[in-house]
Amino acid sequence: MSVLAFNAGSSTIKYSLFAGGSMELVAGETLEDPPANAVEKILAAISARVASDPVAAVGHRVVHGGRHFRESVRIDDRVLGLIGSLTKLAPLHNPPALRTIVAARRALPGAPHVAVFDTAFFAELPPDRHVYPLPYEWYENPGIRRYGFHGISHAYCSARAAEFLGRPPAGFRAVVCHLGNGCSATAALDGKPVATTMGFTPMEGLMMGTRAGSVDAGILFYAMERMGLTRMELFDILQRKSGLLGVSGVSSDFREVRAAAEAGNGRARLALAIYSHSVRAAVGSLAVALGGVDALVFTAGVGENSAELREEVCRGLECLSLRLDPVRNRSLRPDADLAADGPGGRILALRTREDLHIAREAMRGL
């Protein structure tokens, strides 16, 4: 039997096909087609494989589960309706996931379909970590709280870090830095999150490719009142024109900003310095939340591939007993331990496997 995992983004759909027994990846691709067309192409591409090894379960990444979904759930019409009702909380991501689910259920009606939520990993954050210091009524209704995001990646990497180091999950303290175009960091103890940087929306926390991350709320009022920005203009700036792009003026792509900095662009150098400081400060805060760090994990596109970024973030973390080996950092590729020999926490570069986590969750209910 096979397991199919879908990850629908705002403009692309990724799929991965796994052999159900071994969970070995046997096929995968990213398509830029609309959901219905993409699902049709995917099934045509894997038809020969599933003819002899039918699809036993289908997992779907859904970014936002709100208060409704605290764990992965088998999809029925009621679940579909609830996911749709959460569109206002994740307008860029929940709609394409919903359309993909509808198309996939129509194409594969005999297989169970399972929704795997990014927010579910953070559902059990302690109250003092998920309730904002706002009027408590806002938390009770309409449910404004820290939801956290990139949960599928953080769940996989926190568990993988313990496995990689041969450590039992119990008592294991990991700080996971998911650094791509979107960025977040999470402190996990016993494989469970105790703090995370993203909040009610994916706009809070670390500096990102086009998002500002956490900024003084007073700036927003100032921009509206003194600069004449409308609510939607301000939202567009915070979501699409800030972060690396906004500061550097070059690009939201870390690689292009790095190249510009190396060519002497001062704003690009500043953008990278702010980015590195943002991550380093989060590591310090999350390490305190854990009372120490057994493993600092870098993952996702930037975290896995930029040795320079890892070096900048780790500069000064010796106070947390985290010491990067510069040779290993430059020469080893994920999955790898980049820490210097000796006592102290380990520094890992891990390839995030959201697709594998989705597939495992889809299989778990069978």
Neighbours of 135 (CB within 10 A): 9
Asked if 80 contacts 101 with a C-beta cutoff of 8 angstroms, the reply is yes
91 secondary structure, DSSP code: T
Asked if 174 contacts 297 with a C-beta cutoff of 8 angstroms, the reply is yes
Q: Could you tell me the sign of the dihedral formed by the alpha carbons of 341, 343, 349, 354, in that order?
A: positive
Selected catalytic residue, list 33, 53, 118, 236: 118
Provide the greatest CA pair distance for the chain: 65
Q: Which of 163, 242, 172 is nearest to 205 (CA)?
A: 242
Residue 76 bears catalytic tag: no
Tell the residue number behind the tokens 């150098």, with chain if given. Answer: 269
The Cα–Cα gap between 154 and 353 comes to 10
Dihedral angle over CA of 135, 137, 138, 144, nearest 10: 110
User: Which pair of tokens denotes residue 19?
Assistant: 């052999």
Q: DSSP for 163-207, please give it.
A: HHTT--STT-EEEEEEESSSEEEEEEETTEEEEES--SSTTSSS-
Tell the residue number behind the tokens 């206002």, with chain if given. Answer: 88
AA letter at 273 = A
Give the CA count within 13 Å in the CB-facing half-sphere of 167.
Answer: 20
AA letter at 323 = R
List, by residue number, the catalytic residues.
118
